[in-house]
Structure 1
Amino acid sequence: MLLGYHLLWSTTANVVGSAEQAEALQEYIVSNNLFLGGAVNPRDNDLKITSEGDNLVFNGFKNFNTGGVVSDLTVLEGVLEGTADHIFTVVRTQQPGIQFAHNWDNVGLRLTESGSIKIDNVTVPWTDALGWDPKTKRPDPAYLGVPYASLLLPTYVPPTPSSINLIPLLPFNLCSSAKTPGTNTLLASIQLVFSNFYLGIAQGALDYAAAYTRKNTRAWPYGGDNKDTPLEEFYVLERYGNFHAHLAAADALADRAGAAASRLYATWNYSHNGRDNRGELPARERGVFAELVASVKVVTTDTGLRVTSGVFEVTGSKATAAKVGLDRYWRDVRTHTLHDPVAYKNRELGRYVLLDEVPEPTWYT
């Protein structure tokens, strides 16, 4: 999970920054072997930003952060004072103004340190705001006013339903408008990262349960077709086979979406045949890709929850003991799948199937 977020944050400038910013971020991270975390929650305007001359100053809180505690760089997101614009920036984690509460006490994802964070007078230069013109202090439409930008992070969007806008994030900033039609997009890409979380956790649960069944589960003596071991029992074999089939199908769908993402980024990028063609990505193509990712999110959510809870049916009551630890898989999947309601992904896909509508970019599509 931490690696997924790191890879996402570290390549953001490739999608929403200038070619110079993208090169600078990659060089900065790779040369210094840096790890990225993030404190981003666009639903809450609890981190305020003030513009002070050539600098931006962040103050406030975030209820959640992921990977920040163990990171070298932390992605911040807040609202610019007097506007509805969200600005993103990447800052050094080890500084007095970044204060972690270490209060993550949820049922799952206990090792992610995803608790709250206080931001106290963290200052960054306007020149580090990706996608923004430091002179006009406005987003650059060449990078943020195109469908391509909404592939990755939250976005800035003018109040026109047909426009799509997104702001970057480098060792430094980003922005996005809050409540206008077609506003903020939290990438298709991050949803694909989430889907692979669920897939990996569910596969881990199945492998762990299978090892437990082979070693510890006892055959049921009152089934009418008694077997010497659970490895011969029909319903145990049937359940494991069914779980495996659904995971294999989900894995294939996730790989298909991953391959589509690779093709898309290879075709549209800041240095395609020596030029930046990101602004030429059609909105329709972006939308069709988003629906493929939404399908993966739905399938991996359903399969992840089903497998991580269902393995108890084939391991037995003793497998519920805390020392066994089989429950951690369900707890992790259950916790993260509540990040954004999957029911809305189903509705979105329904509109795509029945009405041929691709989703309008938002913070979560």
Structure 2
Amino acid sequence: MSTNTETLRRTPWSGHADDAEIAHWSAIAQAVADTLATDALERDRANATPRTEAELLRSSGLLDLLVPAEYGGGGGHFESAFHTVRILATADGSISQLLAYHYFNQAGIGFYADPADQPAWWRRTVQGGWLWGDSVNPVDPTLVLTEDGDGYRLNGLKRFSTGSGVGEVIIVNAIIQGGTEDGKVLAFVLDTAREGLELLGDWDHLGQRLTASGSVKYTDVAVLPGDILGPVTDEPIASLLTPGVQLGFGNFYLGVAQGALAKGRELLLARKNAWFLSNAASYSRDVVFQRAIGELKARTAAVEALAEKLNRRFDAEVARSGTLTAAQRGEYAIAIAELKVVATETGIEVANRIFEVTGASSTANSVGLDLFWRNVRTHTLHDPVDYKKIEVGAHFLHGELQPLSLYT
């Protein structure tokens, strides 16, 4: 790989999304969300590999939103990407997650690859129409790379490999064992048809059923020099990728809450008559139900305000590129942890308590209101939110930052 980092920028993004850009991508995302909403429940129950949904993302242009325009991409900013994730989550949490992970898997080009090598990677992803899956779950047995000529051999197993079952490529993090680079961690990209790469298709969970998040087994998989993005380091700009992923989670949870509220409003307005102890003309005119839905709406609006602020800030932090300091990165990660806490709790609360205003009839399987709760309940277990609370508290009390990891 080239090492001409002195004359080229570390990351290809700069500036902010203007109103026209956000409106453009939001309109596309809404059109996709409207399509997904027509049969979200049926598709969830079928629990099939989301190939049709992946093609919808591809044909809409959303997959290449973050790819610089000079390489054939959409030339968008992260703020637009976060908006897109949120909009899709109002209709289909699974496909929202699939796209959110794709964005940061693909963005690994800008965070890990040498600047001189990035143009070729960007062109490859656009020309190939790649949806990027991942295989980086840090709590699984560690994948191991061993030297093999001028490349490596990869062995091991990774569960929770989101997008792997439907993506053209998978980004992988693995540690080198033995040789002159012993202990070094590399980020690299494998096509899913690579010999020795086995997609186990074992994802069958309560929610987020269409994220193609099954396990991947690697048996003597050849990793060639051209597959390698770069080393995984603690450099502030490179490690900013993880807070970005967490910010994507916050937007996803917010979108689920907004979707549950919209569905709940629809059901509440359709309810006839009123509770027999009420003097109201209808359930939607009953102050008991107005109070409940008003509380949920207000809390969701507060989360949205925080998300909007942090979404825009992400582009500013990324634009610092190689000048981003560890302190700046750490302080921003804490702000994102604050969002993660309130988005998690609000998403779960809204998806749960919306039943209080929609009544017993809304628990019918044909209604599918449970889909919002199942999706947000499943994904909010990705990493314990209590540890995010501890991160926020430790920083507020003592100015402490957590050690770098794939969760912080």
TM-score, normalised on structure 1? 0.80
Q: Distance in 2 between matches of 1:197 and 1:188?
A: 14
1:206 to 261, 267, 270: 261
Paired positions, count: 309
1:96-107 equivalence runs, <5 A: 96-107=195-206
**Residue 234 of structure 1 pairs with residue 309 of structure 2:** no
Q: Which residue identity is paired with 1:20? A: A
Query: 1:291·1:359 contact (CA, 8 Å) conserved in 2?
Result: no
Gaps of 5+ in 2: 1-96
Question: What SS does structure 2 have at the residue aligned with 1:296?
Answer: helix
Query: 1:10·1:25 contact (CA, 8 Å) conserved in 2?
Result: no
Report how far residue 345 of structure 1 moved.
0.7
1:322 to 361, 365, 375: 365
Deviations 1:262-315 (A, max 9, x none): 11112x23xxxxxxxx1x322111111111111111110010011000101111
Query: Is the alpha carbon distance of 1:103 and 1:131 closer, same or farther for their aligned partners in structure 2, counting shifts above 3 Å?
Result: closer
1:312 to 349, 352, 355: 355
Which has the larger displacement, 206-215 or 118-127?
Answer: 118-127
Report how far residue 127 of structure 1 moved.
5.3
Tell me the equivalent position of 2:45: none
**Residue 256 of structure 1 pairs with residue 309 of structure 2:** yes
Deviations 1:3-52 (A, max 9, x none): 11111111112122211232222121123322111122112224332211
Q: Distance in 1 between matches of 2:328 and 2:162?
A: 30
Question: What SS does structure 2 have at the residue aligned with 1:131?
Answer: strand
1:151 to 228, 237, 240: 240
Deviations 1:86-134 (A, max 9, x none): 43321111334332222211111011121222223321224543334xx
Q: Percent identity?
A: 37
Query: Is the alpha carbon distance of 1:211 and 1:70 closer, same or farther for their aligned partners in structure 2, counting shifts above 3 Å?
Result: same
Query: 2:112·2:187 contact (CA, 8 Å) conserved in 1?
Result: no
1:190 to 245, 252, 256: 245
Report how far residue 85 of structure 1 moved.
4.2
Q: Distance in 2 between matches of 1:211 and 1:98?
A: 46
Query: 1:47·1:59 contact (CA, 8 Å) conserved in 2?
Result: yes
Q: Distance in 2 between matches of 1:8 and 1:343?
A: 24
Report how far residue 205 of structure 1 moved.
0.9
Q: Distance in 2 between matches of 1:294 and 1:313?
A: 29
1:264-283 equivalence runs, <5 A: 264-266=317-319, 268-269=320-321, 278=322, 280-283=323-326
Question: What SS does structure 1 have at the residue aligned with 2:153?
Answer: strand
Query: 2:133·2:161 contact (CA, 8 Å) conserved in 1?
Result: yes
Q: Distance in 1 between matches of 2:272 and 2:190?
A: 50
Gaps of 5+ in 1: 133-138, 153-186, 270-277
Q: Distance in 1 between matches of 2:154 and 2:272?
A: 55
TM-score, normalised on structure 2? 0.72
Query: 1:319·1:326 contact (CA, 8 Å) conserved in 2?
Result: yes
Deviations 1:221-280 (A, max 9, x none): 12xx422211111111111111111111111111111111111112x23xxxxxxxx1x3
Query: 1:38·1:74 contact (CA, 8 Å) conserved in 2?
Result: yes
Query: Is the alpha carbon distance of 1:294 and 1:100 closer, same or farther for their aligned partners in structure 2, counting shifts above 3 Å?
Result: same
